[in-house]
Amino acid sequence: MFAYVVKRLISGVLVVTLVSMAIFLLFWFGPSSPAQPICDRETSNRCTQTKLALYEKTLGYDNPVYEEYGKYVKGIFVGRTLTIASNDYECGAPCLGVSFRTKQPVKEELVSRIPATFSIAIGGAFLYLLFGVPIGVAAAKRRGTVADKALVSSFLFISSIPYYLFALLTWLYLTITFEVPFFSDTGYFPITEVGPFKWFSGLFLAWVALGIFGCTQYTRFTRGAMVEALSEDYIRTAKAKGLPTRTIVYKHGLRAALVPVVTIFGIDFGTLLAGTIFTERIFEIQGIGWWSLEAVQGRDLPVVQATALFSAVVLIISNLLVDVVYSVLDPRVRLS
């Protein structure tokens, strides 16, 4: 197990390195100069070729690409001094750059937004499993009945709606049309500053939208996996031995059925941690997703690089944890 984890960590480091190189090269060899956004911002969209050349020089874009990438990687480990618009900025390790818009270290802005995104991810993922898995198990136990068909049909209808439309309608009806008091003030409020009730009420509507929409696919996954598991030979053997139905379903069937569900959950949870753009934007939550959207719109390249790198790290760790959980849920899985 230890050797396997070490191998996966090494491969994860290689993947993160390749991702950072790809992002760096995409910006470097893009259709416009990487210095163009900061030049436009500093000159109020009156950037000339002379001024652009000056900004390219101060930002190091007139140097070889391998040299600047080396400085970028070195800054992650030991920090560096960055020059933007003739101003020097000290960027401590791990240095992910300085935002073109705010002139603040990207690392500090990233850290300040992680709690909001993490809160959304925890609540949404919890509701995924809380509703999706039990309903899927119940539907599998009643396979072919009217209740089973009604559940599958209704959840298929919900999942056919685009998520951004579902979340937007949820926000509009519960906060604007009906003005439900508990849902009226959405957003992220630090629990250490406003208390748990305000923190909970600000995120609750976002959790509901994520949970209802996300649990539909978990219901279908769980139902399909349970139907397959309950048709296995060892389940028929357990029935022949006279084991209680509850034991057969939840101890033997559900344990095998959770393996594919865990796979999807690991990817989904990693994606939630990397940033839920639609959820954060619609419910006005200042998290990583909204931050990355603003960075793309404002061509804030250091922030885009940092969010992409953060997403890659989160997804790699999530996949590693999923692989480790496999061995607990299914002894047949061999980690080598």
- Quick one: pLDDT at residue 111? 93
User: pLDDT tens-digit profile of 21-51?
Assistant: 888 888 888 777 778 888 888 887 888 888 8
User: What band does 334 get if pLDDT is binned at 50, 70 and 90?
Assistant: low
User: pLDDT tens-digit profile of 234-291?
Assistant: 888 888 888 888 888 888 888 888 888 888 888 888 888 876 888 999 998 999 999 9
Same domain, 118 and 79: no
Q: Which of 95, 126, 145 is the last residue of a domain?
A: 95
| Domain assignment of residue 167, yes or no | yes
Give the amino acid at 78. Answer: V
Domain containing residue 243: CATH number: 1.10.3720.10
Residue 87's domain spans which residues?
34-95
Query: Cis peptide before 94, with omega less than 30 degrees from 0?
Result: yes
| Domain assignment of residue 27, yes or no | no
How far does CA 42 lie from the centroid of its chain?
33
Same domain, 123 and 163: yes
- Which of 57-61, 86-90, 329-333 bottoms out in mean pLDDT, i.e. has the lowest? 329-333
Same domain, 149 and 282: yes
Same domain, 289 and 164: yes
Same domain, 256 and 117: yes
Domain count, the chain: 2
| Domain assignment of residue 26, yes or no | no
Same domain, 91 and 115: no
Yes or no: say if 253 and 242 are a contact pair by the CB < 8 Å rule.
no
DSSP string, 155-188: HHHHHTS-HHHHHHHHHIIIIIIS--GGGSS-S-
Same domain, 87 and 142: no
Q: Which of 44, 71, 95 is the last residue of a domain?
A: 95
Q: Which residues contact 37 (CB under 8 A, 6 or more apart)?
A: 100, 298, 299, 300, 301
What's the first-to-final CA gap in the chain, in angstroms? 7
Q: Which of 95, 124, 148 is the last residue of a domain?
A: 95
Yes or no: say if 188 and 280 are a contact pair by the CB < 8 Å rule.
no
| Domain assignment of residue 249, yes or no | yes
b (16+ CB within 10 A) / e for 49-80: eeebeebbebbbbeeeeeebeeebeebbeebb
Write the DSSP symbol of residue 80.
E
Yes or no: say if 286 and 280 are a contact pair by the CB < 8 Å rule.
yes
Same domain, 161 and 283: yes
- Quick one: pLDDT at residue 259? 81
Same domain, 145 and 58: no
Q: What percent of the chain has pLDDT over 70?
A: 96
User: pLDDT tens-digit profile of 225-238?
Assistant: 999 988 888 888 88
